[in-house]
Structure 1
């Protein structure tokens, strides 16, 4: 039997505690209905017997972490609010997580629970997923961790992390399949109405530009790109505009935004195209020209690379008239 420890952290998102408990408890019921023994022992653990979350919910833990000497897998739920404050309030859990991992426990973070996982030092030099909205903040706080943009699940040496919000369900199903079998995971996905095997959160990402840096010239360049995305903008043009050598400009831009200039321009154009697909009745060609592309194949390839969907698929997914038309 696998011992599943779900941490009840301060400032946790209640759903990220309830969901894994519900899922693994339900899987036990599925197994018993099939004449098999239950496979998971599920417990809520914390630093106190009762944890009050954001002055909204009280969660009663089954045991204190110090009472559990060994477990098989630890779930770190999504946090909320200010991340630095959340880490400070939960720092008492760090030594226990590290010690359990040293003893052989696997560790999984859900959504922005990745911040607490990274604070343990277990992710140093490893890859990680988290909510796309917190990617810049995560990189700033944990530069020694490789954040995988858009990924739903990241696994490395018994450490797991998931993408944003409800994408943690995909990690939970992934672990159900790993510990039991594919049929049980499929049954669970149908019971909870979760799209199994989804690999990317790219279609849900909104590019907001990385401006939490102090390079004034680069911020001005970003503003210029965002105001003139419909035009053809070159690196040389931007470098000349701010009287910076091309190589120096490219280096500073990448350091400040974590994007090359070309990639940043592409992402701004695609974000504008996404907004148009969501709210207008323009066809693909019209939107393509509006955002400064003239090559249909190039536009389609770049759009799919960034969002994971073709322009038509994206429009049909997020534009209600087209979505209703496709459902008929």
Structure 2
């Protein structure tokens, strides 16, 4: 039996904490029972806080854990749920959690995190030099805090050795089913997902993200250029023209733009256009060719390639999945 420890701490997301425990506990069991068969549990699941104290979740729900982290010598898997409360406050008080993560990793436990739980793994140094993901909205903050981590927030789940991360608030479900498959095979994961009426197999979170444009900087010329792009994205825009608009040399403009926004000007323009195209695919009945033209692309083929690269699916697939008009 696989022994799983789900770490609870004040400010965690209750659903990611208890939901993961529920799905692990019922993996492979409920399906058999629905078909008149009996089977043994495949996972032993414990929710643990540092000293066995009650866990005050971000919703105000109080969870009584099964045990204390300090009483666990070893386990097969340690899962860190989403930080649902104030990130800085949780991290500031997470020293004991970090120490136990390091100890259990050293004992041979696999490690997993969901969403912002990756910040706790990163605090422990256990993500250094590894691939990881977190919620797309925290990309810039994570990279600033932990530049030594190979962050890939376009991915829903990352794997690197014995470390597994999932991005997105509800991605704990994807992560748990992924781990069920890892330990007990695809068929168990598939049938358990069917019991929970869950579409198992998503592989990226790019389709759910939006442009995280930085506007809260103090570089006025860059702010002017950003505003121009937001208003004129459908027109041909050259970097040289943007530099001239704000009276900077092209080289200086490129350097300052990337420093202020985190993106080169051309990449920023592409992301603005794709973001607008996504909104049109969701809310309008225009065909893909018309949408491509309306956001600044005269060739549908190049638009389709760029859209798929940025979003992880074709414009047609995106519309079928997210349209409000179909």
Q: Which TM-score applies when normalising by structure 1?
A: 0.91
Q: Tell me the distance in 2 between the aligned counterparts of 1:237 and 1:262.
A: 12
Indicate the residue corresponding to 2:26 in structure 1.
26
Q: Tell me the distance in 2 between the aligned counterparts of 1:298 and 1:147.
A: 27
Aligned pair 1:301/2:300, yes or no?
Answer: no
Alignment partner of 1:124 out of 128, 134, 139: 128
Q: Tell me the distance in 2 between the aligned counterparts of 1:244 and 1:320.
A: 43
The correspondence of residues 146-185 of structure 1 with structure 2, limited to 5 A, is: 146-185=150-189
**Are the aligned partners of 1:128 and 1:145 in contact in 2 as well (CA < 8 Å)?**
yes
Q: Tell me the distance in 2 between the aligned counterparts of 1:187 and 1:55.
A: 31
Indicate the residue corresponding to 2:229 in structure 1.
225
Indicate the residue corresponding to 1:317 in structure 2.
321
Indicate the residue corresponding to 2:48 in structure 1.
45
Q: Tell me the distance in 2 between the aligned counterparts of 1:76 and 1:210.
A: 29
Query: Per the alignment, do residues 111 and 283 of structure 1 end up closer, same or farther by CA in structure 2, a change over 3 Å counting?
Result: same
Q: Tell me the distance in 2 between the aligned counterparts of 1:253 and 1:26.
A: 51
Shift of 1:212: 4.8
Q: SS in structure 2 opposite 1:210?
A: coil
Structure 1 runs not aligned, ≥5 long: 323-328
Indicate the residue corresponding to 1:261 in structure 2.
265
Q: Tell me the distance in 1 between the aligned counterparts of 2:61 and 2:271.
A: 39
Q: SS in structure 1 opposite 2:325?
A: helix
**Are the aligned partners of 1:114 and 1:130 in contact in 2 as well (CA < 8 Å)?**
yes
**Are the aligned partners of 1:28 and 1:40 in contact in 2 as well (CA < 8 Å)?**
no
Indicate the residue corresponding to 1:187 in structure 2.
191
Q: Tell me the distance in 2 between the aligned counterparts of 1:260 and 1:242.
A: 16
Indicate the residue corresponding to 1:77 in structure 2.
81
Indicate the residue corresponding to 1:325 in structure 2.
none
Indicate the residue corresponding to 2:8 in structure 1.
8
Q: Tell me the distance in 2 between the aligned counterparts of 1:26 and 1:226.
A: 49
Alignment partner of 1:271 out of 258, 272, 275: 275
**Are the aligned partners of 2:29 and 2:38 in contact in 1 as well (CA < 8 Å)?**
no
Q: SS in structure 2 opposite 1:188?
A: helix
**Are the aligned partners of 2:28 and 2:191 in contact in 1 as well (CA < 8 Å)?**
no
How many residues align? The count is 322
Q: Which moved more, 1:154-163 or 1:25-34?
A: 25-34
Q: SS in structure 1 opposite 2:165?
A: strand
Question: 1:149-202 CA distances to partner (integer Å, 9 max, x unpaired)?
Answer: 310111112111101122222221111111011110111121122222211111
Structure 2 runs not aligned, ≥5 long: none
Shift of 1:290: 1.5
Q: SS in structure 2 opposite 1:155?
A: strand
Q: Which TM-score applies when normalising by structure 2?
A: 0.92
**Are the aligned partners of 1:3 and 1:71 in contact in 2 as well (CA < 8 Å)?**
yes
Q: Tell me the distance in 1 between the aligned counterparts of 2:324 and 2:78.
A: 40
Shift of 1:239: 2.2
- RMSD of aligned residue pairs (Cα, Å): 2.0
Alignment partner of 2:109 out of 102, 105, 113: 105
Q: Which moved more, 1:64-73 or 1:138-147?
A: 138-147
